[in-house]
Amino acid sequence: MLLVIDVGNSNIVLGVYNDAQLEYQWRISTDKQKTGDEYGMLINNLFSFREISMKDISDIIISSVVPPLIVSLIKMCQRYFNIDPMIVEPGIKTGIRIVYENPREVGADRIVNAVAAYTKYGGPCIIVDFGTATTFCAVSSDGDYLGGAIAPGISISTEALFMRAAKLPRVELIKPKNVICRNTITSMQSGIIYGFVGQVDGIIKRMKKEMEPNPIVVATGGFANFIAAESKFITKQDKFLTLDGLRLIYEKNVTNS
């Protein structure tokens, strides 16, 4: 079985594939202070709950936007799985041509998402990933990664609002029934949810003008469900897009090695 690990700024998402089938997946908090041993024990506990043995894992692939954790996770893979993991980094085969001023600047997660979206849905396409940051990525009909946009994520903006406005509380992200609300909590929820819908649709609309006609718009990430239902342009939601992209990249490199 294949273990895929996607390291984000806020969360690490892990998945176990049996061939092309995602059998299990977990989401844990990203902690740059944790050692490889700590992550090894944590993953062992997650596996034990699902009655999986670490010996069942034959290969591992990792993508990370948190460089300090790569070394810890490599050591964890070597010590607890006896595997040298595949790392998504410059030089790895993706099947995607990166049309970017400096291709090395593109985050691994954005490339992984582009590979998955193009393989699963074709091109042209736009991928919106709702994570710590909200990223927008454009892929052509030929599978070229064209670039995109990066905006503050919902959690960052919400936390900033709480921190900088003394009388505003932290709120749960729930869509209110109306945009015009009659109390502080629902007013904040309205501003956050519908404000981000406007931002997302505004950026997608402008991106579509610079692309080939009728791109498919795919949403992924932890906050996708809050926004996609209200968006005019998001046509597909794919909760496991990044995990699937890691599996696809692994397969490309094993097949072509």
Q: What is the largest CA-CA distance in the chain?
A: 61
B/e letters for 225-251, b = 16+ CB within 10 Å, e = fewer, are ebbbeebebbbbbbebbbbbbbbbbbb
Strand segments, DSSP code E, in the chain are 2-7, 11-18, 21-29, 59-64, 86-87, 97-98, 125-130, 133-139, 144-152, 216-220, 236-237
Contact 5, 241 (CB under 8 A): no
Q: Which residue has the tokens 């909590």?
A: 185
CA 254-57-81 angle, to 5 degrees, is 105
**Hey, is 13 helix, strand or coil?**
strand
- With contact defined as beta carbons under 8 Å apart, do 13 and 30 qualify? no
The answer to whether 247 touches 114, Cβ cutoff 8 Å, is no
Inter-axis angle of helices 241-256 and 108-121, nearest 10: 90
Tell me whether strands 59-64 and 86-87 are parallel, antiparallel or unpaired. Answer: parallel
Catalytic residues: 109
